[in-house]
Amino acid sequence: MVILAAGLDTRAWRLPWISGTTVYELDQPKVLEFKAEVLEEHHARPAARYVGVPVDLRHDWPQALRASGFDPTVPTAWLAEGLLPYLSADDQDLLFARIDGLSVAASRLAVEAFGPEFFSPANLTRRRQGIEALREAATAKGVTVPDIEALWYLEPRADVEQWLQGRGWAVSVAGSAELMARYSGPRPRARRTCRACSSKR
């Protein structure tokens, strides 16, 4: 299992992994260091073999992954969640090209991607208004909240579903409303996030 831009995710510690599973987490060095310190303070132990790979995804992360023991001849499950808006269109293409190059048949990829409506002017306006309201409320309490949208690349990019299908992946797509209903969660408002679950043939 390879979790890209893992952040503070704790799947490696809280999920019931199949015996023998190795979970690789890739993220910025300081992020993984902070998480490791907090988990150690709470005496948390991973439920699978855990390997943190401190690397910037804009750099040569495949080399860092291999150097950490990753075997590209073994089928791999990849997770790219909450990541794509922080990559340029070219960096997104490079990310998927690298995943494709490291994946043998029977590998799987789950990716959170945004449909075209997400970047529509009307939706972006609503999102900016919501973010600004949250920032104002936080500021009133003395808390500084960064402008998250300033970190996004709001530019045309390849459609993830089409990109993967063009390279031999079998793709299924579920909208966020469908996923929320499946897991009995709250329905999202004015957001068309899709998760493309793909398997390499």
pLDDT digits (tens, 9 = 90+) for 54-102: 999 989 999 999 999 999 999 999 999 989 989 999 999 999 999 999 9
What is the spatial distance between Cα 80 and Cα 30, in angstroms, rounded to a whole number?
19
- Please state the pTM of the whole predicted model: 0.85
- Please give the backbone phi and psi of residue 109, each rounded to the nearest 5 degrees, phi first: -140, 125
**Across the strands, what pairs with 169?**
200
- Tell me the residue type at 198: S
What is the spatial distance between Cα 123 and Cα 129, in angstroms, rounded to a whole number?
10
Alpha helices in the chain (DSSP H): 11-14, 29-41, 61-67, 89-101, 121-140, 160-165, 176-182
Q: Kindly tell me if the per-residue pLDDT of 32 is higher than 90.
A: yes
116 SS3 class: helix
Q: Which residue in 70, 27, 66 sits closest to 35, CA to CA?
A: 27
Mean of the per-residue pLDDT values of the chain: 89
18 SS3 class: coil
Instruction: Grade residue 189 by pLDDT with cuts at 50, 70 and 90.
Output: low
* pLDDT for 192: 41
Span 7-32, mean pLDDT? Answer: 96
What is the spatial distance between Cα 141 and Cα 82, in angstroms, rounded to a whole number?
27
Is 198 in contact with 132 (CB distance < 8 Å)? no
> pLDDT tens digits for 89-136?
999 999 999 999 999 999 999 999 887 777 788 887 888 888 888 888
The secondary structure of residue 82, as a DSSP letter, is S
Q: Which residue in 73, 76, 100 sits closest to 22, CA to CA?
A: 76
* pLDDT for 191: 43
Strands 77-80 and 108-114: parallel
Q: Kindly tell me if the per-residue pLDDT of 148 is higher than 70.
A: yes
- Tell me the residue type at 122: A
